[in-house]
Amino acid sequence: MKGIKKCLNIGGFSLFESMVALLIISILTIGITTAVNAAASIYKKSLFVSEGEVLAATIDTALSDVLRFSSSVSEEDGKIQITNENYSVVKGHFVLKKGWLYLNLTDEKADSADDAPLVALINGGAYTSMKIDSFTLNYKDGVFSGSYVIQSKDDSNLRKKYTFIFRTLSIA
């Protein structure tokens, strides 16, 4: 009989021990999930910052090329119009459309017209996961200044404002 009792008296975990183990596993799972979510958020923000800096540098270079070598500048209807023979721009201006920055080569056509002579300021490959949210351009005494906002296409909270200043080289 003692042999049978020994066989039936198999050791195991009590209900309390099982609950404590479950609690520990739950706490570890919550901690790991929180850490992974925080790391993903930090990665997303750092990726936006680095890609945003690259896009801003590309935009600044393209703006600089067009604005620095403008041969004439005027203002009509609140738009700064530039002429730059190197880029075949005659009284052209910048247009922000669908998150991209374009250069209207001439003022003959409305910016919204399907056949308007709009040329993307930079290649579409630069706008991988971002867009330009606003663009301003000012001109005074041979100096162009302005700003634009780069925003993530996926998260509207990820945005950064950039400013620029370029002195013209061609206008006396």
Which tokens sit at 162? 């950039």
**Amino acid identity, residue 61?**
T
Residue given tokens 């479950």 in the structure block: 22
Name every residue whose Cβ is closer than 8 Å to that of residue 138 and which is 6 or more positions away in sequence: 80, 144, 145, 146
CA angle 148, 97, 81 (to 5 degrees): 70
Q: What is the four-CA torsion angle of 82, 144, 65, 98, rounded to 10 degrees?
A: -80
Rounded alpha-carbon distances, angstroms, from residue 124 to 2, 59, 117, 154? 83, 12, 17, 17
> Does position 4 have pLDDT exceeding 60, yes or no?
no
Output the pTM of the full model.
Answer: 0.76
pLDDT 10s digits, 14-67: 899 999 999 999 999 999 999 999 999 999 999 999 999 999 999 999 999 899
User: What does DSSP assign to residue 110?
Assistant: -
DSSP 153: S
Q: Where are the alpha helices (DSSP H) in the chain?
A: 2-8, 15-68
Q: Which of residues 41 and 3 earns the better pLDDT score?
A: 41
**What is the Cα–Cα distance from 44 to 39, expressed in whole angstroms?**
9
Burial class (CB in 10 A: 0-12, 13-18, 19+), 82: buried
**pLDDT tens, position by position, 122-157:** 887 777 789 998 999 999 988 999 999 999 998 889
| pLDDT for the residue 71 | 87
